Structures are given as C-alpha cells and as structure tokens.
A and B are shown apart, each in its own frame.
Chain A
C-alpha cells in the first residue's frame, strides 16, 4: 500500500538500513544497556553469594515459570504505554479471563459433573480450546470498553481503565459469587512439555515476546502505535486513524491480559479472584524499567522482558539468601528507582550530544 512513506515519516526511530550489527546495537541501546548490566550484576552477585542454590537449572526454570504470566501481560502493556496511555484494568481482564475460562468448562457435561471436575489426564483439547476462546472473549469486552471510553469519549486512560478495573473485578466476583473455582482441566496447557525439558508456560511466554517484538518493530501496527505515542496530532495529519488504532491497542492489551488469566487458571489450578490486584503495577513497572517511555513514542520489547525479570530475580535471590521480607521490599524499590534514574541520565547525556 502507499503507507510506506508515512510510516517512515511518522515513526521517529524506524530502523533505516539495518545491518545485523547495527540491529544488535539498536536493540541493546533501546533495551538500555544499563538495565542489562544491572541484571548481569545481580545474577553474578547471587551466584557468588549462594553457589549451588541460586545458580541452578531448577531455580532458573522455576523463576522463568513464575515470570511467564507477568511477561505475557507486560507485552500487552508495552503497546499501551507506547501510545502514552496506561492500562490499570489488567487485573480485571486477567480475572475475567480466568472466570470466563472456568465458566466455559462448566458447559461440558462429563459423567456426573462438568469439565471443571475432570483430572488433567481426562481433559480434552476441545475443553481447552473453548476455555481459551471464552477467556479471550473476556479480554475483547474489556479492551473494547477501554478503547471506546478513551478514544471516543476522551476520558483520560488512567481514569478510564481505573473504572473498568473496578467494574471488571466486581463483575468477576458477581459471576463467581465471591468464591474461587478450582480445576485441573487446563493444567496440561502450562505443565506439558512440547519441547522436552522446557515447560510449555515458558515457551508460551517466549513466543508472546517474539510476536510482540515483531508487531512492535516490524509491522505497520507497531509503527502506528509509536507514531501516536510520539505525536498524536501529527499521526492524525499523516492519515492514521488514531481513534480506531487506539481501540486496537487496548484490545490487544486486554487480550494479552485475559490470555494471562487463562494461563493462570492452568498454572495455579484455580481462579484467583483477589490474586491479581497488583498485576497492573507489576506490568507497568516491567515496561517502564525496561526503557519504554511512559510519555509514549519509544518502546522496547526486549527491555520489557528484562524489566519483568529484575524484580523477580531480586526477590528470588533475597529469599534464598534469607533476607527478611520487609528488607526485600526496601531493596527492590531502591534498585528500581536507581535503574530508571541512571537510564534517565544516560538519555539526557545522549540528547545533549
């Protein structure tokens, strides 16, 4: 189509002639070398302090498994933040995804009960697929609501998504009558190993990051997203249908969240109505820590991955070292602020040059 030109013009950091070397360099500068350095330092530090405990395959494996759902949510949040928006409704989409998925399992009659009660060996692909579609439907509802309220009703994203957060969690509690549903029907999704030795949940998270990276870096969708975040008015003038695109972005984010909810039911074997209240802050932290600008226009998927990794890695290391629970929070908060602060200074220095 004829969008090639506008795309180039609109996206401020569209890679020009990309050699392999410059691509690596761009990737590293975008993901903020400092965040990466901080990550490496932490790994070395904990490996040195707790040899044979921290730096074991099984620990890294579990660390990755526990991170996977957050990573899926953060990939969605990266797009929203790239438009200079914010999505506080992540917990609502996650929990509604969980609830819809388990409700859908209830549609199948199996023996005396329903598919909710089957064991993980009795489950069928059809149950899983229907549960997945139901979860995504929840995300679609939340995402369209967010998008319409923000793009057409011009309610600031912070307040719009705060509203859908409350309503969504309320609706989930209504549907569940305030109690959680346990099920093992979905557990093969995350606990299985399509690649031997690698839990599916890690594979799923990795694929999500790759899809997210491609969508952000290489697709028209990503260019438009960054263009809107960089300068909404300019984006509109070059012919981007801003309102429609914003809806797409919020839908994408909510779909990622409700998919996270689907994974969560699978992984934990139960819905967790009050278990995701801080997911929004964790995802936003991961995105911002990774180097995506909260003012929009600059985004990095690999950075988000690292941003999600740092707090969890610290927490894991501290627990192994036996650091007290409150000290962990103090230290993690400190590291987060420091990392972002150094990154800001580096950016300033670069802009001056």
Chain B
C-alpha cells in the first residue's frame, strides 16, 4: 500500500518535471562548441525587457549562441538573487543581467564573475565598478533633452514648461529631468520647479492641477514615466487644457502608445531596449573571444509622435509584447 503511493508520487513528480523540461530550451546536450549565455532581465513580462530579449535573441541567433532567458516576477532583489545563484551553478559562458538593486545584487554577480562567466550589465547597474566587462544602458540625460526637443517639434517656441518626476534620488529619472531642464532652457523655455508624483497617478494628477492653477500660462509638461504621464494627462484634461498644454511621456510600451493614440500625451520618448539587448550579446561575444570590449555604452532615444509613429524608422523603436 505504502509503496504504491510513494511510487505513484514519484511517477507524477517525474511527469511534472519532464513537462517543465519541455518548456525549456534544450539543455544538457553536450554540444560543447556552442556558447551558452543567459539573459537575466529586471522583471518578466515588461515590454521594455521583452524588447531587450528580442534584440538579444536576434543577435544570439546570428552568432550561433544558445541564449536562455530568466527573470523575476517582480523587480525585486529578494527574488532575483536566488535566481542569479542558480545561474551561477549553471555556469553559462556569459551573463547579461539587469540587476534589481545597486547594492544587493552585487554579491551574487561577483560570485558569478569570479567563476569565470563574463558579466554584461544591461539597463541597470551595481555600484561595485569591478563587476561587468561592459555596461550598456540608455542615456537618460539625452532622453530628457529629447523631451525638450519634442516640445519644440510639437510647435512650441517659448513659455513655461516643467518636469514632473517620480521621486528625487532615483538616478534614471533624475538624469531625465536634468537633461530636460538644460535643453529646455537652451531652447528658450522658462523652466519651472520640478514636482514629484511618487509614481502615483493620483498624486501626479493633483500636482499638475495645482501647477496649472499657479501658472495658467503653462505650455508644456514632461512626465518622466508611465504613471506620472497618466496622472498628468488626467489633470490636464480635467482643467480643460487639452491642446493648450503639451504633454511628453517617457517609454514606448503598448500602454504609452495607447496614451499617444488617445491624445492624452502628445509625444513619447522611446528608449532602445532592443539595441541594448543586441549590443549586450555582441559585447559578451567580444569579451569571450578576447577582442576589445567597450566598457560603457549609452544608447540613444527617439521622439515618437502620432504623426511619425507609423514610419518604419520610428516604429522599430516601439516596445514589443512578444518577439
């Protein structure tokens, strides 16, 4: 009796494990010639990282590299670190990783690097500068500059503009704000004090409502991320200022594109995650082949408007939900 039960558990457990194995890329094969790489994204399912994965897959395919993609369900070092330790045990030739925390992610990455795996940091970084043969990320400052340029492209030449960001002290959005302020000033706009939304739609909404009360002649707002842009758009339409106040959002995932199509925002600044993924593979290959590696690569940003989003040069930078 007891034996049959244990036996049946064994059979079912094996079946499940086999099922899971089917879902994976073929592994365990002793094709020693092909290079194996792992891409550990910041969070699974996010269009930014999906696009990065697409770029990496394409470059991997072209170079005959076997690429395995992993990622935590939340952007969270507590979830990502154990996965990194798993990658360490798997000993890939190279790891492309978007670390979840500048401090907490350092330890597992150092272990992986010490074991001889080439580590390339994509999108996010860790403080420890010894980690990573190459670091590839968006130039957020340039993204902010593009946001100011977008206002000009939308027909504005002068007037009051402002940035609404998530929180002070977040390096990526701080750089966007910095770039925006400098460029806007250079272009002849009057730049108001930056306000913060704490990444909440409702707060962004209130902030922009108050700003419009104080400055009825506000002509442009740069919202540094998705939720902030949603709140800003709502605030602007509540104040019946649609059209009079131009809103520039950041990133170009499906949700942002919807905002653009609905006329809630007038322009988007697209980063180039596809490019980051592609260059990540290329840098990893260069490191493995002993060729010269570029330590820091900053990718460009693109202005997306309703008018240009269909053109192929712009459309290729819109983020993807799947490859």
Contact = CB atoms under 8 A, between A and B. Distances in A.
Interface of A: 33-34, 37-38, 41-42, 45, 49-50, 53-54, 56, 58-59, 62-63, 65-66, 178-180, 182, 264, 268-270, 272, 274-278, 312, 315-316, 318-331, 334-335, 338-339, 342, 345-346, 349
17 contacts: A49-B28, A50-B27, A54-B89, A59-B88, A63-B82, A264-B78, A269-B104, A270-B104, A316-B86, A321-B21, A322-B24, A322-B68, A324-B24, A325-B73, A327-B22, A327-B23, A338-B12
A316 B23 contact: no
A327 B24 contact: yes
Given A53-B91, A272-B76, A272-B78, A321 B9 contact: no
A319 B87 CA distance: 7
A342 B5 contact: yes
- Lowest 3 A-B CB distances belong to which pairs? A327-B23, A319-B86, A331-B20
B71 interface: yes
Contact of A42 (B2, B12, B13, B103): B13
A325 B44 contact: yes
A272 B104 CA distance: 9
A315 B20 contact: no
A268 B6 contact: no
Nearest to A54: B89
Contacts, number: 157
Interface in B93-144: 101-104, 106-108, 111
A277 B102 CA distance: 20
Given A45-B17, A319-B90, A338-B16, A325 B71 contact: yes
B286 to A, nearest CB: 23
Nearest to A187: B107
A107 to B, nearest CB: 21
A238 to B, nearest CB: 36
B198 A178 contact: yes
Interface in B71-87: 71, 73-74, 76-79, 81-83, 85-87
Contacts of A349: 1
B86 A330 contact: no
A321 B167 CA distance: 39
A180 B44 CA distance: 23
A179 B199 CA distance: 12
A2 B157 CA distance: 89
A319 B9 contact: no
Given A45-B17, A49-B28, A315-B83, A276 B88 contact: no
Interface string B165-178: 00101000000000
B172 to A, nearest CB: 14
A315 B169 contact: no
B90 A53 contact: yes
B165 to A, nearest CB: 13
B292 interface: no
Contacts of A315: 82-83, 86
A320 B89 contact: yes
A346 B27 CA distance: 36
B160 to A, nearest CB: 28
B10 interface: yes
A163 B61 CA distance: 50
B310 interface: no
Nearest to A327: B23
Interface residues of B, number: 54
Contact of A182 (B74, B103, B111): B103
Contacts of B14: 41, 45
A323 B23 contact: yes
A182 B167 CA distance: 17
B74 A277 contact: yes
Contacts of B71: 325
Contact of B9 (A182, A278, A323, A342): A342
Q: Which of B21, B74, B89 counts the most A-chain CB atoms under 10 A from its CB?
A: B89
A42 to B, nearest CB: 7
Contacts of A42: 13, 17
Nearest to B86: A319
Contacts of A63: 82, 85
Given A316-B89, A331-B17, A66 B44 contact: no
A59 B84 CA distance: 11
A41 B90 contact: no
A316 B89 CA distance: 9
A316 to B, nearest CB: 5
A316 B85 contact: yes
B262 interface: no
A41 to B, nearest CB: 5
A14 B70 CA distance: 47
A345 B12 CA distance: 15
B146 to A, nearest CB: 27
A62 B110 CA distance: 13
Contacts of B108: 62
Nearest to A279: B78
Given A50-B90, A274-B74, A315-B86, 8 more contacts: A37-B9, A63-B85, A270-B77, A276-B78, A322-B38, A327-B24, A331-B19, A345-B5
B77 A268 contact: yes
B89 A268 contact: no
Contact of A320 (B76, B81, B86, B111): B86
Contacts of A54: 89
B83 A268 contact: no
B32 interface: no
Contacts of A324: 23-25, 69
Q: Which of A264, A269, A270 counts the most B-chain CB atoms under 10 A from its CB?
A: A269
B10 A41 contact: yes
A92 to B, nearest CB: 15
Nearest to A268: B104
Contact of A38 (B9, B21, B111): B9
Interface in B1-58: 1-2, 5-6, 8-10, 12-14, 16-17, 19-25, 27-28, 38, 44
